[in-house]
Amino acid sequence: MATFYRTPWKNASGGENQSFGGPRRSSGGPRRFGGPAKFTRPSFGGGSRRGSSSRGRNNPGQNIDVNKFINKAAPIEDAPKYVPTHTFATLSLNERILRNLTDKGYVHPTPIQDQAIPAVLQGRDIVGLANTGTGKTGAFLIPLIHRVIENPGLRVLVMAPTRELAVQINEEFKGFARTLSLSATIAVGGAGIGPQMTALRRHPSFVIGTPGRLKDLMERRALNVNDFQAVVLDEADRMLDMGFIADMRFIMSKMPAQRHTLFFSATLSRDIEKLIGEFLKDPVRVSVKTRDTAATIDQDVIRVRPGENKFDVLVNMLADREFSKVLVFGRTKHGVERLAKDLVHRGVKAEAIHGNKTHGNRLKALDLFKRDHVQVLVATDVAARGLDISGVSHVINYDIPNTYEDYVHRIGRTGRAGKVGRALTFI
């Protein structure tokens, strides 16, 4: 029997013309509904405040089995404990890297780090398959930083699907490479290309970028990838989904045939296997993926009944102190922007990130959310992958994602580092 979560928020009475007041608290507690899930009257507002009257026009998400949105989190103590084979101290890493890891409080590697780092240190090509939030970035940065120290002149190219993930990787690099006199440059769209071209003239050891901007820099002769002996394809499945395959192939074709290639993906489809065959040579395969969604995520649905206003349901949910740091996903750029503004009007501290925002504004919104200066970050799927934001209490799918895979990556922003998170989906 499926269990439904829904708090009995009062119906809105004012519609679009109601005055904007502070969020109201519900007078009643949670109500649970039993019975098999039925996907009826889905609400795809794209951020519309009149969510209950919207229809799922041309949205493939309406075909997802709603039962996949319902799953109780396993108690932390019941989860199987991974016993690492190594400590960082036994991985034969450079002493200066070890000091930086110690300063960051790193003692035992995560499963993906424990299995991948030794192979990378040996110079083996690697395919890493892991759930989001597993320490994947450290699994390639730590050993590659070691290799650059031990092999002066070795350069590393890192490809990522989004600006946000590229920035996240660069931040991780700064922590791992502190005091090591190694440099990294970000090359992403949405930011001025001139400063990036200037930075590349300094021949940084690491270049971290999105495929489109990397290709643009190559065509402007500001970047020669033949100078790079190692390449990381991070979240390769997402780059494939976003239509970067032609750019990826172009970039890889210009790299040395004898190179060190690291390939990470959350899924392993036929198309991904084809890319592995094209780009890697005799790779070591490392998999720590055990299920689609983390066992630490409590998943449930919010039913919006006919006549109810989805926006008011959301506002009243956010008034509960339990919803302390909330990532809300919408389907369209316009809808996400509008939803964030409407939340602010109702007294909720909120910011939005989407593809129409400048790189600087997106970073500012993310920083405010990370530092708990805003309660809610409203986002399109551009934020669903790669972002490591600590302490996200809830992920709310205000609009149902297009695919179940998108759902998996959205809710992966909560329930991280062994903490229990909640994912709620409006239907």
Give, for all 427 residues of the chain, the pLDDT tens digit. 333 344 333 333 333 333 323 333 333 333 333 333 333 333 333 333 333 333 334 555 556 766 667 776 555 455 556 777 889 999 989 999 999 999 988 888 999 999 999 999 999 999 998 766 678 999 999 999 999 999 999 999 999 998 889 999 999 999 999 989 899 999 999 889 999 999 999 999 999 999 999 999 999 999 999 999 999 999 998 898 888 999 999 999 999 999 999 999 988 888 999 999 999 999 999 987 655 566 778 888 898 888 889 999 999 999 999 999 999 999 999 999 999 999 999 999 999 998 888 878 888 998 999 999 999 999 998 765 656 788 899 999 999 888 887 888 888 888 776 678 899 999 8
**Fold category of 88-287 in CATH:** Rossmann fold (3.40.50)
Closest alpha carbon to 159 in 213, 226, 229: 213
Angle at 304 between CA 404 and CA 314, to 5 degrees: 85
> Do 301 and 31 meet the contact criterion of CB atoms below 8 Å apart?
no
List CB contacts of 30: < 8 A, sequence separation 6 or more: 5, 6, 7
Question: H-type helices in 132-206, by residue range?
Answer: 136-150, 163-176, 193-200
Backbone angles phi, psi at 128, to 5 degrees: -110, 125
Radius of gyration, CA atoms only, the chain: 22
Tokens matching residue 254? 């210009």
Same fold for the pair 4-76+295-426 and 88-287: yes
Beta pairing, strands 230-233 & 156-159: parallel
What are the extents of the domains in the chain?
4-76+295-426, 88-287
Q: Is 116 exposed, middle or buried (0-12, 13-18, 19+ CB in 10 A)?
A: buried
Please tell me whether residue 310 adopts helix, strand or coil conformation.
Answer: helix
Q: How far is CA 254 from CA 6, 115, 130, 208, 223, in A?
A: 54, 30, 28, 17, 11
Closest alpha carbon to 177 in 211, 210, 209, 204: 204
Q: How far is CA 346 from CA 19, 54, 150, 373, in A?
A: 9, 21, 56, 17
Superfamily (CATH H level) for 4-76+295-426: P-loop containing nucleotide triphosphate hydrolases (3.40.50.300)
